[in-house]
């Protein structure tokens, strides 16, 4: 028998309501031919908050990639992010105000005004904003990328290259890391980030000792974290393994591969999102098989990822132009 419920985004403070629906019994344990994951429930999506139409589902299928496409269908949703109607009546209602970082600093929170156009079509809205604001300066708070604060900029051209599926820039990846940091900033998070600018291929070739020193400092800074996300780390892998007394095993995942010879970065962003928001919990044993899947992502999956980047970038770093 089904029960009415509300869903919140399955990361961060679990206070951002995104839709309403019904929770169903597990049945045969399959949803769209996929087995029901541990600590997930079977949910039918009924009414979604328009701000989150492009939010990628925690467990995607070939049929459904985001919340908008899931309306009227049954999906998997983490149990921790489901509020049953009876629980809602028994407890104080969770506020729906979305807390996001301020424009100039990553890691702090601020309420933003309702901007219907930016939430409904974030990619197009951000593209238009960047035509008149061609460089957005960002300051990462101390302790996120390195010991001190770190300043960088995202330019109009870099965003356009992302949309055109050209080579992704370090600024796009760095902003994505800060966005993901704000999403998973809970005691359960086991991940930390390296500064992409400090581990570019050029730095690894010209100043390998400096890169090694940065890696050592980062491990000390993020003591207690199990995973360091390093989307730009290249030749420092083998060099660091040779120069440390403790052997380090580097595992290169056989994950989804883009067709053709050029990696646009969309796949990197998708896997960063998946790992930070879902797969870090229980990795590698619970999800070991997914690392053997080299099939390409469907276009709608990649588009949902870019829409999420665009929406969160608008909310976090462009309040002054909204």
- pLDDT tens readout for residues 83-106: 998 655 544 443 333 323 323 345
Pick from 7-11, 71-75, 310-314: least confident: 7-11
Confidence of residue 212 (pLDDT cuts 50, 70, 90): confident
Q: Which long-range contacts (CB under 8 A, 24 or more apart) does 306-310 make?
A: 306/123, 306/162, 306/163, 306/266, 306/269, 307/54, 307/66, 307/122, 307/123, 308/54, 308/55, 308/56, 308/273, 309/162, 309/172, 309/175, 309/176, 309/179, 309/269, 310/122, 310/123, 310/125, 310/126
Q: Which residue has the higher pLDDT, 230 or 253?
A: 230
Segment (H or E) for 22: strand 17-24
13-51 core/surface letters (b: 16 or more CB in 10 A; e: else): eeebbbbbbbbeeeeeeebeeeebbeebbbbbbeebbeb
Q: What is the percent of the chain with per-residue pLDDT over 90, rounded to a whole number?
A: 29
Q: Can you tell me whether residue 136 is helix, strand or coil?
A: strand
- Listing DSSP states for 264-295 in one string gives -SHHHHHHHHHIIIIITTTTTTTTGGGGG--P
- Domains detected in the chain: 3-90 (no CATH), 105-321 (3.40.395)
- pLDDT tens readout for residues 144-162: 999 999 999 999 999 999 9
- pLDDT tens readout for residues 28-40: 677 767 888 888 8
**8 A C-beta contact, residue 162 and residue 197:** no
Q: Structure pTM? A: 0.67
Dist CA 152 CA 30 (whole Å): 45
Q: Find, among 272, 266, 267, 117, the residue nearest to 183 by Cα.
A: 272
CA 184 → CA 69, 106, 259, distances in Å? 24, 13, 30
Q: Which residue has the higher pLDDT, 50 or 102?
A: 50
Dist CA 162 CA 172 (whole Å): 8
- Listing DSSP states for 37-88 in one string gives PTTEEEEEEEEE-GGGTTPBPSS--SS--BHHHHBTSEEEEEGGGEEEHHHH
């Amino acid at each position: 028998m089904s029960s009415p419920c509300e869903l919140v985004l399955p990361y961060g403070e679990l206070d951002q309501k995104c839709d309403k629906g019904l929770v169903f019994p597990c049945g045969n344990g399959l949803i769209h031919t996929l087995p029901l994951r541990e600590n997930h429930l079977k949910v039918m999506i009924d009414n979604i908050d328009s701000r989150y139409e492009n939010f990628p589902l925690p467990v995607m299928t070939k049929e459904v990639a985001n919340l908008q496409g899931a309306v009227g269908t049954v999906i998997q949703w983490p149990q921790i992010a489901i509020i049953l109607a009876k629980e809602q009546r028994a407890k104080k209602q969770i506020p729906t105000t979305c807390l996001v970082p301020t424009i100039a600093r990553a890691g702090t929170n601020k309420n933003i005004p309702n901007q219907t156009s930016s939430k409904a079509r974030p990619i197009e809205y951000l593209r238009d904003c960047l035509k008149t604001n061609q460089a957005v300066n960002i300051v990462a708070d101390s302790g996120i990328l390195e010991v001190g604060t770190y300043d960088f900029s995202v330019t109009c051209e870099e965003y356009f290259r992302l949309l055109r599926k050209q080579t992704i820039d370090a600024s796009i990846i760095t902003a994505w890391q800060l966005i993901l940091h704000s999403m998973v900033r809970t005691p359960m998070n086991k991940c930390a980030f390296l500064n992409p600018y400090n581990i570019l291929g050029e730095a690894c070739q010209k100043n390998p000792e400096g890169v090694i020193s940065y890696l050592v400092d980062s491990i000390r800074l993020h003591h207690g974290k199990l995973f360091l996300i390093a989307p730009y780390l290249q030749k420092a892998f083998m060099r660091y393994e040779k120069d440390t007394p403790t052997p380090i095993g580097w595992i290169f995942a056989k994950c989804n591969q883009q067709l053709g010879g050029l990696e646009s970065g969309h796949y990197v962003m998708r896997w960063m999102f998946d790992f930070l928001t879902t797969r870090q919990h229980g990795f590698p044993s619970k999800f070991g098989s997914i690392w053997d899947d080299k099939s390409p992502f469907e276009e709608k999956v990649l588009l949902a990822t870019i829409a999420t980047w665009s929406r969160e970038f608008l909310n976090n770093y462009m309040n002054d132009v909204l």
